Amino acid sequence: MGVDIEVLVVDCDRVDAAPAGERRELLEEAAYGVEGDLDEEGWIWPSAAGTDWYGRYAFRRTLGSYKPHFWAGERWEHVRDFAAPGLRAALDRFTAALFWQGLEDVAGETAGGLPERECPWDANLLLWRPPHDIAAIKAFWTQAAPELDTLREPFARHAAVPNGWIGDFVSFAELLKGWSEVVAEADRRGWGIIGLRC
């Protein structure tokens, strides 16, 4: 059995306002108690009273597994040397800030060049990005997105696999675009992003 991830955008002020001993349960209820079909993809917004402080994002064709995110990072590591320098720098930072830290000390930085911050909440997190990191992560994607398609041919030559997660450029780009949706929504609301380990 592998690791699963539930990705949420959250109003961090609302979580901070909860008693410290109740925050973990609050976040877990948000991730696992969300209304809707567990096979749904895209945004799931709760409608119950008092739940207007979070939204859950279900990545397409991942079934909640962390494996596609891991394999997207692996594929990126195989194709990044064939990317234009600006695209490489932007995607290094975008992926490192959100789901992939496989590259050791990218340009002397960690977590996409964002400062390492300890999460103030006691929760089983794979990812925590507070609101003040989101604009920078969005800027990484804004820089990378127009050139993303230039990776199609190098991906087919150097990173594609016949079986398994993220085997082709389309699935790689789809996962990245999913993360861009998460970042854009968090930025629009002034919220943070968390990934709970399941």
pLDDT at 160 over 80: yes
pLDDT at 101 over 70: no
Q: In what order do the strands lie in the sheet with 125-129?
A: 42-44, 54-58, 5-10, 192-197, 125-129
Mean pLDDT value of segment 113-142? 89
Band (pLDDT 50/70/90 cuts) for residue 32 is confident
Mean pLDDT value of segment 185-194? 97
pLDDT of res. 158: 96
pLDDT at 113 over 90: no
For 23-37, 71-85, 99-113, which range has the lowest pLDDT when averaged over its residues?
99-113
Mean pLDDT value of segment 109-125? 75
pLDDT of res. 37: 52
pLDDT at 132 over 80: yes
pLDDT of res. 41: 86
Band (pLDDT 50/70/90 cuts) for residue 103 is very low
What contacts 17, CB < 8 A, 6 or more positions away? none
Band (pLDDT 50/70/90 cuts) for residue 39 is low
Query: Structural domain boundaries of the chain?
Result: 5-197
pLDDT of res. 106: 47
Beta strands in the chain (DSSP E): 5-10, 42-44, 54-58, 125-129, 192-197
Q: What Å distances lie between residue 115 and 6, 37, 42, 93, 138, CA to CA?
A: 23, 36, 29, 12, 16
- Give the total residue count for the chain: 198
For 7-21, 74-88, 111-125, 155-169, which range has the lowest pLDDT when averaged over its residues?
111-125
Cα separation of 179 and 63, whole Å?
A: 15
The answer to whether the beta carbons of residues 176 and 71 sit under 8 Å apart is: no
